[in-house]
Structure 1
Amino acid sequence: MNIKKHKPVVGISIGDINGIGAEVTMKALLDNRLQKMITPVIYGHGKALTYYRKHLGMEDFNFMQVRSIEDIHHKKINVINVVQECPEVIPGVETQEAGKMALGSLDQCIVDLKNNQLDALVTAPLNKNNIHTPENNFIGHTEYLMEAFETPKSMMFMVSEDMRVGLITSHIPLKEVAGSITATNIKEKLLLMLRSLEEDFGISKPKVAVLGLNPHAGEDGLLGKEEVDIILPVVKEFKEQGSLVFGPYPSDGFFGMMHHKKFDGILAMYHDQGLIPFKTVSFETGVNFTAGLPIIRTSPDHGTAYNIAGKNIADEGSMRSAIYLAHDLIKRKGDWPEE
């Protein structure tokens, strides 16, 4: 199949069918603008989508089941069944069967990505707990995709119209963060961020802010020496090489004074330091983009939200933004004609 003759093909892994992934995916794809821009392929099961179509009263949501990526229709929402029998859909309930289907969905997307039959991947939220087993040490989407595509370095890059936040450390215990703040790690993430801002987002001379680790960015060593001994020397090195890299900034004052609006990217030291302000400002439209992978992968910036699953109150804004960003990144990287 020569997909370059058609619209970009975007695979959507369904995630946990007992969370809000199916709901926000269906709601997002009801946007006719999206259907004109991409060919969506949902990797899940038709019975799960039929359940939610009826349960949520989404009778306008129509799809076509296909056996494989080879059979997709470019004017339809396509669904590929990744398991023979669909698990029972129980909104808000964690089940092992739903976890197996979520992983099967991701695995089939990876196969089609490796065969160059998808132009991008959008991952609906899954639950690590019902996937992780003693035999399968599943940590998260990012780590799983890094291993699948043999990518040694990547970065969680949270993206919205208001800010772009990258992380030095992501899913590790807080007590391990300080030991992971090394010059090598900061340099690697800065290089990933600068390259992504230039190549993925088309910013010719990106301006990046680096946050400090300690309160008040260490207060000149009184509250911690990581800023003086590790972070500042890296910032100076990048400046001397001609990069527009500044910091380290105290994170509370940085966001409190709205300084994030002055920068193209912000490099945070740990998960909550970057994601709390990001989600405060951009929760309904924020997107998780994985920089450094050889494929395009985006995701909404929320989880399975079992507490509201099946109640028809989940906001699809972040999923819609994730699909739009995937489309924009495809167009920027490829040779697609203007729409």
Structure 2
Amino acid sequence: MKEKQKIKLGISVGDLNGIGCEVALRTFEDSRMMDFCTPVIFASNKAISQQKSDLGINIAFNGVKDAAQAVDGKINIVNVWKEVPKVEFGQATQEGGRFAIKSLKAAVAALKNGKIDILVTAPINKNNIQSEEFKFPGHTDFLAQELKGESLMFMVTDDLRVGLLTDHIAVKDVAQAITPKLIRDKVNIMEKSLKMDFGIRRPKIALLGINPHSGDNGTIGEEDDKILKPVIQEIFDKGTLVYGPYSADSFFGSNSHQNFDAVLAAYHDQGLIPFKTLSFGKGVNYTAGLEKIRTSPDHGTAYEIAGTGKADPSSFKEAVFTALKVFKNRNEYLELTKNPLQKQRVKKAG
């Protein structure tokens, strides 16, 4: 019997002047990683050879023209471009942004066409990626356009999951952006993802307040009382275990997050500061709600250490394992929902 082909893991290299290539290559410098998946890097043989040489990384790779030609047991490089990019470690250059987008677009196209199964994206610079062809604040918005579904920025580790109601918008615009529809949509995406992607049958979700102390009964803003509380009650009454709003300043410090399967923060830093503090560099950014699976490490380009060989691949490796785990969980979930008899057995067993 023919051995089942391993999961094909696509990798976009991000900014060549940052640490993206380094953390990706160092992840697969450990040959045991090939037991879990077949890596497919979207760049070029010359670009990866240059990175290997500059960083002192000793790995072999297999160049292919198309992801469909990727070989199990090898690190595969899809040649997306023929040029030799000028690498200036630590510098935010237009060329660095241009090749980051070339890699990303090729990887997403392969994901859409089923030539890879999952995607891990290395960090990009949100400034130098901007052009006439690419006008998105980051990966999440681009992926939401290219892949079917509504997206949720979901930061995850084994025991902590934090999603965002609003992500890359100015703090001054947060309160106006949070509407009853947005809350319903994000809670719905989070609940579905917890069930389908993380195997949690009856997830409990906490919402953090918008204002300090969740508004102190209207003393510090009325958004929590007038928007969050009524919608939370409405969603709860329909059967979703959602609670709040909770005062964000003490929520994590008091370990209240341990009582829930996930937390939905009102805005970017409200969720990411405690998440990155508690995840100790092993956090993963997962784009929930899409028909395809994409993860990324929870750090940026790290220009300050790029090219020095000091980059820690831990978060990138966790992003790989998370993508693999979500892929398997989702396939099992979809199989169960297709087979009502098996689903009934599982329910009785639980």
Category of TM-score, reference length = shorter chain? over 0.9
Mapping for residues 98-109 of structure 1, pairs under 5 Å: 98-109=96-107
What is the DSSP-based 3-state SS (H/G/I as helix, E as strand, rest coil) of the residue aligned with 1:128? coil
Describe the superposition over 1:122-150 as per-residue Cα deviations: whole angstroms up to 9, x where unpaired.
10001122220245313211111111125
Residue number in structure 1 paired with 2:54: 55
Does the Cα contact within 8 Å between 1:157 and 1:291 map onto a contact in 2? yes
What is the DSSP-based 3-state SS (H/G/I as helix, E as strand, rest coil) of the residue aligned with 2:272? helix
Counterparts of 1:169 and 1:283, CA distance in 2: 23
Deviation of 1:242 after TM superposition, in Å, equals 2.1
Greater mean deviation of Cα atoms: 48-57 or 309-318: 48-57
Residue number in structure 1 paired with 2:78: 80
Instruction: Choose which of 120, 126, 129 in structure 2 pairs with 1:128.
Output: 126
Mapping for residues 1-339 of structure 1, pairs under 5 Å: 5-59=4-58, 61-134=59-132, 136-151=134-149, 153-334=150-331
Does the Cα contact within 8 Å between 1:99 and 1:127 map onto a contact in 2? yes
Counterparts of 1:55 and 1:161, CA distance in 2: 34
Distance change (3 Å), C-alpha of 1:122 and 1:236: same
What is the DSSP-based 3-state SS (H/G/I as helix, E as strand, rest coil) of the residue aligned with 1:129? coil
What is the DSSP-based 3-state SS (H/G/I as helix, E as strand, rest coil) of the residue aligned with 1:256? coil
Counterparts of 2:317 and 2:68, CA distance in 1: 25
Give ranges in structure 1 of 5+ residues lacking alignment: none
Distance change (3 Å), C-alpha of 1:31 and 1:259: farther
Instruction: Report how many aligned residue pairs link the two structures.
Output: 331
Counterparts of 1:173 and 1:243, CA distance in 2: 30
User: How much identity, in percent, do the aligned residues show?
Assistant: 48
Give ranges in structure 2 of 5+ residues lacking alignment: 333-350
Distance change (3 Å), C-alpha of 1:62 and 1:183: same
Greater mean deviation of Cα atoms: 321-330 or 236-245: 236-245
Describe the superposition over 1:165-199 as per-residue Cα deviations: whole angstroms up to 9, x where unpaired.
00010001111001011111111100000000001
Counterparts of 2:3 and 2:324, CA distance in 1: 14
Does the Cα contact within 8 Å between 1:283 and 1:318 map onto a contact in 2? no
Does the Cα contact within 8 Å between 1:82 and 1:101 map onto a contact in 2? no
Describe the superposition over 1:25-57 as per-residue Cα deviations: whole angstroms up to 9, x where unpaired.
011112333210100000012222222222222
TM-score between the two structures when normalised by the length of structure 1 = 0.94
TM-score between the two structures when normalised by the length of structure 2 = 0.91
Amino acid at match of 2:73: K
Does the Cα contact within 8 Å between 1:16 and 1:126 map onto a contact in 2? yes
